[in-house]
Structure 1
Amino acid sequence: MTAPLEIEGPAAPPRSNGELVFAEPWESRAFGMAVALYEAGAFTWPQFRSELIARIAAWEISGAADEPYNYYRLWLAALEEVLAGLCAVSTDEVTTRARALAGRPEGHDHRH
C-alpha cells in the first residue's frame, strides 16, 4: 500500500521536477512518519488528507503574515491532530515531546 499523494491541489506536497522537496531534515521525517503510519493502517488517507486541507485553509484564512507558509508544519499539525483524534497520542504528549526536542542543543542529532 502506498499513500496516494496528490500531484496538484492544496494537499499536494512541494515538488521540483516531479521530486518531493524538503527544506529541512525534520520535514522528510514528518512526511515519512505520516506515510508509514498510513501504510501500517493507523488511519485512512482521506482522514489525513481532510485534516491537511483544513489546516492549509485555516492558515490561508488567518492571513498569518507573521507566520510564513510552511507546508510541512501544516502536514505535521494535521498528523498530530489525526493521531490525537484516534487517541493514539494525546495533545499533551505531543506538546511535551515538542518542548523537549526544541530544548536540545543546536546541531544535536542521533548519530553518537
Structure 2
Amino acid sequence: MSAPLDIEGPAAPPRSNGELVFAEPWESRAFGMAVSLYEAGAFTWPEFQAALIARIRAWETTSAPKESYHYYRLWLAALEDVLVRRCAVSTDEVTARTRSLARRPSGHDHRDDPVTGRADVP
C-alpha cells in the first residue's frame, strides 16, 4: 500500500521536476511518519488530506500578508490533528513534546531525550 499523494491542489506536496522537495531533514521525517502511519492503518488518507486542507485554508485565512508559507509545518499539524482525533496521542502529549523539542539548540536533530534517555529523532 502506498499513500495516494495529490499531484495538484492544496494538499499536493512541494515538488521539483516531479520529485518531492524537503528543505530540512525534519520535513522528510514528518512526511515519512504520516505515510508510515497511514500504511499501518492508523488513519485513512482522505482523513489526513481533509485535515491538511483544513490547516492550509486556516493558514490562508489567518496569515499575515508577508508571512512565509511552510507546507510541512501544516503537514505536521494536520498529522497531529488526525492522531489526536483518533486518540492515538493526546493534545497534552503533543504540547509537551513540542515544548521539549523547542528547547533544543538549533541544528540538533539527534540527541538523547531528557525524559526517556533514549536517542531522540523528531
**TM interval, short-chain normalised:** over 0.9
Aligned to 1:89: 89
Report the count of equivalent residues: 112
Aligned to 2:5: 5
Q: Determine the C-alpha separation between the residues in 1 that align with 2:37 and 2:15.
A: 22
Aligned to 2:27: 27
Q: Determine the C-alpha separation between the residues in 1 that align with 2:70 and 2:109.
A: 22
Identity of aligned residues (%): 78
Greater helix content: 1
Equivalent position SS for 1:84: helix
User: Unpaired runs of 5+ in structure 1?
Assistant: none
Aligned to 2:50: 50
Q: 1:104 to 1:63 in 2, by over 3 A?
A: closer
Q: 1:66 to 1:97 in 2, by over 3 A?
A: farther
Equivalent position SS for 1:33: helix
The range that moved more, 60-69 or 44-53, is: 60-69
Aligned to 1:102: 102
User: Unpaired runs of 5+ in structure 2?
Assistant: 112-118
State TM-score, norm by structure 2.
0.86
Q: Tell me how large the CA RMSD over aligned residues is.
A: 1.5
Q: Determine the C-alpha separation between the residues in 2 that align with 1:64 and 1:52.
A: 19
